[in-house]
Chain A
Amino acid sequence: MKPMTRFLTALFALLLPMAAMAQQQGLEIDIVGGHASALPIAVVPMPYQGSAAAPDTDVAAIIRANLDRSGQFRTLPERDIVERPTRGAEVQYPTWRMLRQDFLVVGRVLDAAGGGYRLEYELFDVAKQERMLGMAMTARASAMRDVAHQMSDAIYEAILGVRGAFWTRIAYVTQTGAGENARYALIVADSDGHNPQTVVRSNEPLLSPSWSPDGNRLAYVSFEQGNSAIYIQDISSGARELVSSFRGINASPAFSPDGNRLALTLSRSGNPEIYVMDLGSKALTRLTNHFGIDTSPAWSPDGNTVYFTSDRGGRPQVYQVPASGGGESRVTFQGSYNSDPSVSFDGQKIAVAQGAGNVYRIAVLDRSLGTPRWSTLSPGSLDESPSFAPNASMILYAAREGRRGVLYAVSSDGRVRQRLVLADGDVREPAWGPFREAR
């Protein structure tokens, strides 16, 4: 075989099993740019050692998928895991050094007293031959995926010093059918796309889900009344409140970081402007006053600044304004079109949909150093609606593939991009929810 053909065959043989595995899990992994500095880690399968029925959740596989998706790790494929220790005493470090792994995770599943399972797991630094973590968690069978996500978060934080965001949820909108037969749904799922729950169903468009900071409610836009209107709905109970149905546009709701206010777009004055509504009194404070289109408000983490999109300069760019009112100033100066700001938890980065000609891509503006730096994270050509994970390690966004809307998760350094296969039909308008546990 010619060298090129041999290379391609080897590459193909390498990728095929990965693709097959990923398809079974409902995810497609698209590695962009390679893993040059990703940390090699082996997560050994965790066997069931109880006497009742084994769980049908493969916890180690979920942890591997999470760590790979973050872009920070490169996990050892299960077929290359030649030894299967389940606890520290069984670990032989030379094996893992030979396999060039920096970190090792082992564990096992036992029966918990009173039903359910008990997961014991440990994290080791291979070079130092030291245990970094030793934990036990109990869970019912139905919560095993949640436990795997929490374990992933603990491992991520122990190694990187950054809180993990695997145990989080995402919201998104789906459309099936078209025209008169279009059906819309607002869905909440785990951050890897599993366990989708329908929050709202409608025959009319739904847009702009926004999470309350405690993760219990969603604000969203619905056209069910024949015009855009904003609702706030409790996710568990389904109870909802109509909070804005003025004449004109009612759009782009955004909960403040303290959960007491809602930024929104209203065109009741004649053109779209940014307002802040006090959720207790429903009193409105107007933040912008310009004949251009001002929309898509996003809060700074301290709740003092609202970023928004405005075309007052000709085409959409991102501006900022004090949340209590004051002068607006422009934030984005690169690119002819910048919209849909999403702000990182530390306030240092703003992700936008950036347009150049007919190509729209996700870009991030980093203002943590003196001069603002831009990086482009997605290939386009119709990428939109970026949403930061609560630890800013990844960004969720909407893309089009052929006639279909799909969601991608991209690591914030742009190294790894993964398509989420979520539902039939069209998927759009993603919103990454908060950490599921306050600290």
Chain B
Amino acid sequence: MKTTKRVLLAAALCLLVVGCARQVQEEAPPPEPTAPPTTTQPAPTTGVFGPEDLDTDACLRQRVVYFDFDQDSLRPEFQAQMACHAKYMRDRPSSRITLEGHADERGSRDYNLGLGERRGNAVSSALQANGGSGSQLTVVSYGEERPQCTDSNEDCWARNRRVEIIYTAR
């Protein structure tokens, strides 16, 4: 094959790959939990949330709270996230949230069920402190049973020490 044809073929393949990748990204569902965020957007102070905001509002799209080792207190960086979800709960009284608590793999599975629940309860308390109603909240602990990653290192353990905010009704 001549050089020109080879180059064209390679370029076409590249475009195909990029095009497909972009297509996959555009069809992706709301973001999966990733590395711990360092800042979140402040909640909107005017207006009322609607269900579509769960997919478009930058704060509401934050659905994971991360914890330090052996801790169940919320770090300050998650306060804004608590505020916007609590506002959504007030604006949408029919909404329901399950708070799934998790722990990293170290130590007893039974004890980690307890740790996951403590963290879920901490997020529940924070949402209620921000004005959300406890009747809209359920806490379920999965302990270490549903990890985000399975490497035995600090980075992965940090990603597993989390509470996930799951909307079961918008």
Contact = CB atoms under 8 A, between A and B. Distances in A.
Interface stretch (A62-70, A90-98, A246-254): A246-254
Nearest to A293: B114
Interface string A264-296: 010100011000000000000000000001011
B150 A296 contact: no
Nearest to B109: A207
Most A-side CB within 10 Å, residue of B106, B108, B141, B146 = B108
SS class, residues of chain B in contact with chain A: mixed
B108 A340 contact: yes
Contacts of A252: 110
B111 interface: yes
B56 interface: no
Contacts of A208: 109-110
A421 interface: no
B117 A272 contact: yes
A295 B152 contact: no
Nearest to A400: B152
B68 interface: no
Most B-side CB within 10 Å, residue of A178, A249, A355, A360 = A249
A337 interface: yes
B142 interface: yes
A403 B110 CA distance: 21
Given A205-B146, A382-B152, A403-B151, A249 B108 contact: no
Nearest to A206: B145
Contacts of B146: 182, 205
A293 B145 contact: no
Interface string B91-115: 0000000000000011111110111
A252 to B, nearest CB: 5
A355 B107 contact: yes
A384 interface: yes
A296 B142 contact: no
Contact of B107 (A205, A265, A337): A337
B145 A248 contact: no
A384 B108 contact: yes
Q: Interface extent on B, as a size class? A: 20 to 34
A182 B147 CA distance: 11
Interface stretch (A141-149, A155-163, A221-229, A343-351): A221-229
Contact of B139 (A248, A265, A296, A340): A248
B140 interface: yes
Given A249-B117, A403-B151, A295 B106 contact: no
B159 interface: no
Contacts of A384: 107-109
B108 A248 contact: no
B85 interface: no
A311 to B, nearest CB: 7
Contacts of A228: 113, 140-141
A218 B108 CA distance: 20
Contact of B106 (A271, A293, A355, A385): A355
Contacts of A248: 117, 139
Contact of A227 (B107, B140, B150, B152): B140
B162 interface: no
Contacts of B109: 207-208, 384-385, 428-429
Contacts of A24: none
A115 B68 CA distance: 65
A311 B108 CA distance: 12
Contact of A382 (B70, B105, B118, B142): B105
A174 interface: no
A252 B110 CA distance: 7
Nearest to A315: B70
Interface in B122-160: 139-142, 145-146, 150-152
B150 A293 contact: no
A252 B70 CA distance: 21
B106 A340 contact: no
A223 B145 contact: yes
Contacts of B140: 226-228
Interface of B: 70, 105-111, 113-115, 117-118, 139-142, 145-146, 150-152
23 contacts: A207-B109, A207-B110, A223-B145, A248-B139, A249-B114, A249-B117, A251-B113, A265-B114, A271-B117, A272-B114, A293-B115, A293-B118, A296-B108, A311-B114, A315-B70, A316-B108, A358-B106, A360-B107, A384-B107, A384-B109, A385-B108, A400-B152, A403-B150
Q: What 7 pairs across the A-B complex have the smallest Cβ distances?
A: A293-B114, A339-B108, A205-B145, A295-B110, A296-B110, A272-B114, A252-B110
Interface of A: 178, 182, 205, 207-208, 223, 226-228, 248-249, 251-252, 265, 267, 271-272, 293, 295-296, 309, 311, 315-316, 337, 339-340, 353, 355, 358, 360, 381-382, 384-385, 400, 403, 428-429
